[in-house]
């Protein structure tokens, strides 16, 4: 029998109420909250049926979608599956959309899409993000052979290192729409820039990572959109494993996971973070000078991704192999101990190096933990209340 949404059940392992918010026949995902998902109040963007939907997570009454599943699509993006979106600003949210070389925007909720610019064909790379003022488009240019060197999906150290050590080159470009000027920000050989996330508050600042092995090089960087002030964020020594970076709630800080593997003799045989014998911590560094300002005590297990609530009072994490839960915990810079509590069992099979596609994050009011899980063999969007509200 087809379930209607919202549909809830009591998780026998966590003793918490879990709500299934979508029931699309082809599944649905939130998308990684590292890329902003919150529109207004408790409305979030989700991916479903090849397009973008808005979903209202109601926190002061029964759960319900803003409209029945299958509707409320953003008109433009339904035909632009595979493109990128960037969301900036609350409560009036402006959604930037990429379709080929075109950049469109619409104001949510209810706005009509408008064409902002078309990036000329002679500007290298593929669009990957846009600054919060909508003035500068970021483009990535990669040269690599992922057919010959595919990302690993097994616990094979040989295949892991084959992928990590693959030949590659990369460039990161900034295209300024008003002046039609393209600026080369970063050029690399042997690694490539990735995870390009423009600052949510500073239109001239971009954060990115280098896709080298996380413990053998400098992972997190920032650069200005004019190519100046390239900085290391949380400078690393060889063996310090830093990964899964994200803008903190106030956007003056950058969060990440951290393991100290400088004296770990197993690092070559067990290069994955989730199978490391070293504990994982949450770190936070200044986006201004790159210095670490917070490092937690060891967490209860490895989390493939960590994230913070919009008000900065909660963190969440995705458990991994042997810890298949979505977790949450109160957070304070005055407390180095983070008690990560399992909120819901995750039923999606775990894949080494890929995780479980949980994509956990919080609603704008920080009252709901939203995540993706497998229900009836398809990914759907689910949620739990945060804190003692069960």
Does the pLDDT value for residue 66 go beyond 60? Answer: no
Q: Is residue 152 part of a domain?
A: yes
pTM over 0.85: yes
- Residue 213 lies in domain: 75-232
Q: Is residue 81 part of a domain?
A: yes
Q: Is residue 323 part of a domain?
A: no
Q: Is residue 263 part of a domain?
A: no
- Distance CA(72)–CA(242), nearest Å, equals 39
Does the pLDDT value for residue 70 go beyond 70? Answer: no
pLDDT band at 80 (very low <50, low <70, confident <90, very high): very low
In tens, the pLDDT along 256-304 reads 999 999 999 999 999 999 999 999 999 999 999 999 999 999 999 999 8
Q: Is residue 179 part of a domain?
A: yes
pLDDT at 72: 44
Does the pLDDT value for residue 69 go beyond 60? Answer: no
The CA–CA distances, whole Å, from 252 to 32, 34, 94, 288 equal 20, 15, 21, 7
Other CB atoms closer than 10 Å to residue 48's CB: what's the count? Answer: 23
Q: By C-alpha distance, which of 271, 245, 275 is closest to 258?
A: 245
Does the pLDDT value for residue 352 go beyond 90? Answer: no
In tens, the pLDDT along 104-161 reads 888 877 777 788 899 999 999 999 999 988 899 999 999 999 999 999 999 999 999 9
pLDDT band at 37 (very low <50, low <70, confident <90, very high): confident
| Non-local CB neighbours of 356 within 8 Å, separated by 6+ positions | 304, 318, 320, 324, 346, 348, 349, 350
List beta partners, residue 318. 326
pLDDT at 49: 73
- Distance CA(19)–CA(268), nearest Å, equals 41
Looking at the 3D structure of the chain, how many domains does it have? 1
pLDDT at 50: 72
Q: Is residue 84 part of a domain?
A: yes
Q: Is residue 86 part of a domain?
A: yes
pLDDT band at 58 (very low <50, low <70, confident <90, very high): low
Q: Is residue 270 part of a domain?
A: no
Instruction: Count Cα neighbours of 64 within 13 Å in the Cβ-side half-sphere.
Output: 6
């Amino acid at each position: 029998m087809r379930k209607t949404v919202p549909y809830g059940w009591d998780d026998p392992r966590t003793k918490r109420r879990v709500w299934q918010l979508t029931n699309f026949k082809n599944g649905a995902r939130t998308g990684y909250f590292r890329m902003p998902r919150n529109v207004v109040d408790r409305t979030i963007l989700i991916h479903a049926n090849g397009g973008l939907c808005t979903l209202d997570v109601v926190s002061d009454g029964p759960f319900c979608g803003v409209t029945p599943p299958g509707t409320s699509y953003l008109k433009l993006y339904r035909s632009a599956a595979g493109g990128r979106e960037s969301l900036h600003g609350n409560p009036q949210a402006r959604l930037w959309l990429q379709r080929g070389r075109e950049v469109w925007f619409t104001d949510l909720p209810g706005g009509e899409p408008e064409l902002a610019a078309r990036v000329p064909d002679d500007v290298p790379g593929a669009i990957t993000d846009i600054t919060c003022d909508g003035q500068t488009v970021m483009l990535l240019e990669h040269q690599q052979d992922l057919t010959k060197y595919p990302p690993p999906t097994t616990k094979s150290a040989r295949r892991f290192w084959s992928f990590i050590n693959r030949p590659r080159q990369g460039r990161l470009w900034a295209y300024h729409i008003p002046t039609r000027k393209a600026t080369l920000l970063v050029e690399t050989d042997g690694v490539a820039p990735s995870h390009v996330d423009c600052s949510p508050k500073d239109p001239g600042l971009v954060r990115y990572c280098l896709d080298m092995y996380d413990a053998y090089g400098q992972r997190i960087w920032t650069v200005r959109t004019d190519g100046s002030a390239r900085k290391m964020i949380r400078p690393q020594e060889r063996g310090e494993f830093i990964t899964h970076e994200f803008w903190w709630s106030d956007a003056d800080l950058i969060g990440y996971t951290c393991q100290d593997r400088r004296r770990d003799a197993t690092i070559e045989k067990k290069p994955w973070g989730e199978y490391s014998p070293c504990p994982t911590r949450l770190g936070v560094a200044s986006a201004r000078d790159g210095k670490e300002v917070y490092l937690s005590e060891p967490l209860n297990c490895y989390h493939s991704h960590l994230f913070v609530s919009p008000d900065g009072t909660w963190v969440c994490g995705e458990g991994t192999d042997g810890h298949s839960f979505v977790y949450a915990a109160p957070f304070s810079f005055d407390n180095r101990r983070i008690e990560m509590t399992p909120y819901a069992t995750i039923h999606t099979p775990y894949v080494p190096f890929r995780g479980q596609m949980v994509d956990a994050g919080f609603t704008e009011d920080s009252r709901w933990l939203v995540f993706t899980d497998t229900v009836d063999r398809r990914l759907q969007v689910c949620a739990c209340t945060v804190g003692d509200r069960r």
